[in-house]
């Protein structure tokens, strides 16, 4: 005769309903959470630009005075940047730009900030730039500890002459905020180039390792073996 301990435990119907509702609740959070967070961050971004543009236009010419159109400031900002870019393409625009840069170059503190920011923008936005195009593994902050990094450039100048052969500049982001991080110079032979894209690597950093992209190397090896066989 079986003892009560050997009998399968049966939960009351009320407990089963509560557990099922709890599962539905957490499933709803997982489904709607990323969508709502994306919409909220997008709304904050658009609202911030709308607020900035609102102060640049007089009330008489500001459409927001008569009707509130979300995203109108973003549209006006894109149009304004496009017009400024077109204006600097002619002789008068280039002359005005050179004069402005000369004025900024004579300001002790401003010239350093402007020069660094301009160089970053020119590097990142250049059509032929390979900045942030490779995600790599690098041993940081010590041997045996690996972290995600992004190759930003081939190291040149004094740093190249003082470091090992063929060094590369690697940006190591912090988690979960990848906009801050560290710049390290590592020999190219000591970095491991990953098969994942830059976007996937950024997701991995932001999610603190929770969102892990699949390993495509195994599939590539299988394809290579099948082609060779």
Taking the CA atoms of 124, 125, 126 and 132 in sequence, report the sign of the dihedral they define.
positive
Nearest partner of 205 among 42, 197, 169, 190, judged by Cα: 197
Query: What confidence category does residue 148 fall into, taking pLDDT thresholds of 50, 70 and 90?
Result: very high
pTM of the model: 0.49
Question: Residue 194: what pLDDT?
Answer: 92
What is the pLDDT at residue 146?
94
pLDDT of 9 strictly over 60? no
Local confidence band at 139 (pLDDT 50, 70, 90 cut-offs): very high
Q: Where do we find the tokens 């994942």?
A: 196
Q: Tell me what pLDDT residue 127 has.
A: 47
200, pLDDT greater than 80: yes
**Between 121 and 161, residue with greater pLDDT:** 161
pLDDT of residue 91: 73
Least confident of 79-83, 117-121, 171-175: 117-121
The whole-number average pLDDT for the span 223-227 is: 66
Closest of 131, 127, 195 to residue 169, by C-alpha: 131
Asked if the model's pLDDT at residue 72 lies above 60, the reply is yes
Write out pLDDT tens, residues 159-197.
Answer: 888 887 789 999 999 888 777 889 999 999 999 999 888
Q: How many Å apart are CA 110 and CA 107, to the nearest integer?
A: 5
- Give me the phi and psi of 135, to 5 degrees please: -95, 135
User: Tell me, what's the pLDDT at 98?
Assistant: 81
120-129, 151-160, 180-189, 220-229, range with the lowest pLDDT? 120-129
Helix axes 13-56, 72-87, angle to 10 degrees: 40
């Amino acid at each position: 005769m079986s003892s009560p301990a050997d009998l399968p435990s049966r939960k009351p119907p009320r407990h089963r309903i509560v557990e099922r509702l709890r599962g539905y609740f957490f499933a709803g959070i997982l489904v709607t959470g990323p969508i709502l967070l994306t919409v909220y961050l997008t709304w904050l971004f658009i609202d911030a630009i709308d607020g900035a543009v609102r102060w640049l236009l007089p009330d008489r010419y500001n459409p927001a005075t008569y009707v509130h159109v979300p995203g109108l400031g973003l549209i006006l900002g894109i149009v304004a940047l496009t017009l400024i870019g077109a204006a600097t393409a002619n002789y008068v625009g280039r002359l005005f730009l050179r004069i402005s840069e000369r004025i900024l170059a004579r300001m002790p503190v401003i010239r350093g900030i402007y020069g660094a920011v301009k160089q970053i923008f020119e590097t990142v936005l250049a059509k032929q730039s390979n900045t942030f195009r490779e995600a790599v593994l690098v041993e940081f902050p010590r041997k045996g500890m690996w972290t995600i990094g992004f190759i930003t450039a081939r190291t040149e100048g004094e740093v190249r002459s003082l470091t090992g052969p063929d060094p590369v500049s690697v940006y190591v982001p912090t988690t979960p905020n990848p906009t801050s991080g560290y710049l390290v110079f590592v020999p190219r032979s000591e970095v491991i180039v990953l098969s994942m894209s830059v976007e996937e690597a950024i997701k991995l950093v932001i999610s603190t390792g929770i969102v892990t992209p699949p390993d495509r190397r195994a599939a590539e090896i299988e394809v290579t073996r099948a082609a060779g066989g």
